Structure 1
Amino acid sequence: MCSNCNDPSHKPEIKGLDRRKFLVNGAGIAAAAAATPILGAMAQGTEAPFNSEDLNEVTAYGVRSATGAFEKMTIKRRQPRPDDVVIDIHYASICHSDIHTVRGDWGPVKYPMAPGHEMTGRVVAVGSKVTKFKVGDFAGVGCMVNSCMECENCLDDREQNCLNGTTFTYGSDAPDETAGQTQGGYSQKIVVPQHFAVRIPPGVDLAATTPLLCAGITTFSPLQHWDIKRGQTIGVVGLGGLGHMALKLGVSKKADVVVFTTTKNKIADAKNMGAKDAVLWSDEAGMRKYVGALDWIISTVPVAYNMGPFVNLLKLDKTLVNVGAMGPIEGVSGNALVFGRKNISGSLIGGMAETQEVVDYCASRNIKSEIEMITPDQITAAYDRVVGKDVRYRFVIDMKKSA
């Protein structure tokens, strides 16, 4: 794997990465940079120099209605400030949240919208106050692009829970961008404060690292919070984009992982990825085997379902963590919680420090997402396939083919 281009087809010497301090502060556009539209150029010289005027017309792929197909469109990005980096997006992956959002499942949407909150690429420009990146570095952006940075939660590295309102990667108010809202990673470029970009270690498979920016951190954060470790038996409900990362990360922590899936042909996949066991929801005997046997469960299913049978699998005082379904919790009896002193909790992605942590953690252990590469013209069909459970296990869009 090349550390210069992250191309798996050749393997030049990988040089060490300067480990700068991750948490930094700053704001606004550089005076020196304002004197010229060229803020930075690619270190390798393989791409054209960056021109800030190009941010007024950025190629993207989005929809114009809840039922519309994806189409090529032009969006406007805001002009960079001194604490910003501009990233040429190489890869963007499809999260089920993207589908729920653009289809209006979670409430009203402003259109046009280009979604996407898992993206990786190369830094092409940096503001005068940027210390975390230099032009030519690989970087990633996940589910958020700003927060107040002053409230209790932000100061505790939980920017996703900002008390004054997190700015999410798409669909948040942004008067300087298309439709007055942030636009996501299904695009050629993004402008983001350095604090909300993560360093991508050299030598990794860039495309397969991309899903870590949501699927990875969404499952890693609760594993960390509940201190999952060797000797525990944990359950993963659902084996999709999030579920397969929860499985891999759980196995990496030496826990015995039991996967629960509705799809028979995923049983072998789960075991190949390290699961101790894999059980169909419809297998009554298989489900009974784990009643009162699990130390922890993570539910990654992106729609409402009957959680009652899974609560019954928990030991006394243990927790089921929901990271997928955003609607009402279904099928849970108060008796099941009271008599077993069991808990149902939730978790939302993770803070920026923890997002950097999961990227570094996976890079050092060669943990990556199972992906299927597509081109931008295949996004609409890919959405249908995700809904139909026909992806193993994350679609990654090659945005370099978006011209």
Structure 2
Amino acid sequence: MQIYKVGGVVRDRLLGLADADVDRVVVGATVEQMLALGYRPVGADFPVFLHPQTGDEYALARTERKSGRGYGGFTFHASPEVTLEEDLIRRDLTINAMAEDDDGRITDPFNGQQDLKDRILRHISPAFAEDPLRVLRVARFAARFAGLGFTVAPETLELMRQLSESGELQALTPERSWREIARALMADHPQVFIQVLRDCGALKELLPELDALFGVPQPVAHHPEVDTGAHTLAVLAQAAQHGQPLTVRWACLLHDLGKGLTPQTEWPRHIAHEQRGLKLIGAVNQRFKVPRDCQELALLVGEYHTHGHRALELKASTLLELLQSFDVYRRPERFEAFIAACEMDARGRLGLEERLYPQADYLRGAAQAARSVAVPPLVQQGLTGQALGEAIKRERLKALQAYKAAQAE
């Protein structure tokens, strides 16, 4: 029985990166041997065990064969006869198909070390095209390692294009797709993930609403980059550069979907794109079963981001409606995420990346003014129910009017 570290932990060590999660493969062992040594089985589809002391995962070397559609359409075979190379060849990329023994010796049957040096993401074998999830995985790795200069090999991109055209992407479960999307959005260069998906034709299969934005012009006075798709990628890049959380990055990705529905006769203006986009944002949220916090913020940012940009011009009554929509009294963090998304949107324009965004502090001040209204005195006046609600609203409106007046001085 031989045990090897495999995959990401080997790759990242050779790149000088922080250790990834450690995956281990066991060659030459049976299920019975693992059980006799005290390992606890956890794998439902293939033999994976937890170490009796450390709790680390150990998987028996296995081969796989395509038996159906989608990510789960495989039959696995594990036995002591399966070699390390046979286990490694079923992996996706050469840089993920290296193994390391306890003495630090590297087994690299597919030249992964050379591709690391050349900064190439290259598939191992034609079997790559059997698993549609690999399209998303490769795009995610491209986003993760873009800062190191990695690019996708042309022949791998071609296989990804064939997979995209085959209809196999439709067999992916929402949960699997979202997991890859979420991880990619949290990479240092998430815009590269979207660009690679578009380059191989996967974006129009998975996110046609987003793909439709490329080639749609915007007014050059407000958007020097003109193209709405390019703007969206730039907004996403800003969100990553400023360390925004997943909720904000997801909202940034979807905020302008309504512009894809603007009739060409109205280009480059996009009047009411905020409202038009809500149905599309909702559809995307449902398609990938997006977590609720991401869903909510994406819809709110889609509807109100232009309010954010025009904050200093808004009437006190409109400001109050905006604050009410976000429930800033009980969920202040959601309004803060909205402000962040608006600022990323403003910065995601060619040549305007460093422009100040005074709307951010103005909106924070407005929220604080509305929150400063004391409710107990109104209750002490005997107000209840609808009358109390209306009184609170009147006092908050007064507070916002005073805030606006003070800002104007």
TM range (shorter): under 0.3
Greater radius of gyration (CA): 2
Higher RCO (CA < 8 A, seq sep 6+): 1
Provide TM-score, normalisation by structure 1. 0.24
| Larger proportion of strand | 1
Could you say which structure has the higher helix fraction?
A: 2
